[in-house]
Amino acid sequence: MDASLLKYPKKSHRKMVKLPEDSVELAEFMGIMAGDGGVSNPWQFAITVNSIADRIYAEYIKNLIFRLFKLEIRFMERERHALVIVCSSTTVLDFLIDRGFTRGDKIRLGIGFPSWVHKKASYEKAFVRGLMDTDGCLFIHKHRVAGKEYRNLGLTFTSFAPGLVGGMAKALQNNGITPHFSNDRRSIYLYKVESVVKYLSIFGSSNPRITRKYEEWRGVRVA
């Protein structure tokens, strides 16, 4: 990246890091940032996940960050089962802003899909995967019909950012999946099992919280 685009181009104590080219892994990481990421200050950004449900996924994010930027991170435990992945690097933060993230309140500033992820279908799918793995949830809905219990598989994505919700809906539609909106249009639902299975086959998931729920449903179906 051009040094003139950096917010602090002359800082002499910057860490030696790697700045990657556009790639599937970078697109997925940008999706993770759009979902659970935030800028703490001019030299630090953080990603907050659930310390219980997303513990293994946090390790995946840690390794992804190192592969992309050669940047070591640290975990911080917070109240209410929050696990914060803290990344300190002005250079990497400036790079992420240049590639489409935002400084400050990402919802108020209208975060959406970075324009470059639309250049390749693989990039867009990876961005969706990162976004869904953070702000999405796979669920099993139980209901009874004529005294018999059934379990349906569903997938939901929720965000207060209209650009992310709209971008998610468009990406799903472009891949032949019909999204259903909540009344406030902050959530997207996939109610049909066929739609959920199609989503996972096309976009995949790097978060065991989601893949485990799918395997649980499959196990119940087999049983």
**Residues of the domain holding 201:** 135-222
What is the distance of C-alpha 26 from the center of its chain? 12
Band (pLDDT 50/70/90 cuts) for residue 42 is confident
What is the pLDDT at residue 221?
A: 53
**Are residue 180 and residue 101 in the same domain, yes or no?**
no
Q: Measure the N-to-C terminal CA separation of the chain; round to a whole number of Å.
A: 53
109-126 pLDDT per residue, tens: 999 999 999 999 999 999
**Are residue 57 and residue 162 in the same domain, yes or no?**
no
CATH number, domain of 208, equals 3.10.28.10
Cα 99 to Cα 29, 34, 102, 209, 223, distances in angstroms: 11, 12, 9, 28, 47
Give the C-alpha separation, 82 to 80, whole Å. Answer: 6
Residue 1 lies in a domain: no
Q: Could you tell me which residues are beta bridge partners of residue 152?
A: 141
44-88 pLDDT per residue, tens: 999 999 999 999 999 999 999 999 999 999 999 998 899 999 999
**What global pTM score does this model have?**
0.89
What value does the CA radius of gyration of the chain take, rounded to a whole number of Å? 19
158-205 pLDDT per residue, tens: 999 999 999 999 999 999 999 999 999 999 999 889 999 999 999 999
Band (pLDDT 50/70/90 cuts) for residue 145 is confident
Q: Do the beta carbons of residue 115 and residue 19 sit within 8 Å?
A: no
Residue 9 lies in a domain: no
Spell out the alpha helix ranges (H) of 70-148: 90-98, 121-135
**Are residue 55 and residue 149 in the same domain, yes or no?**
no
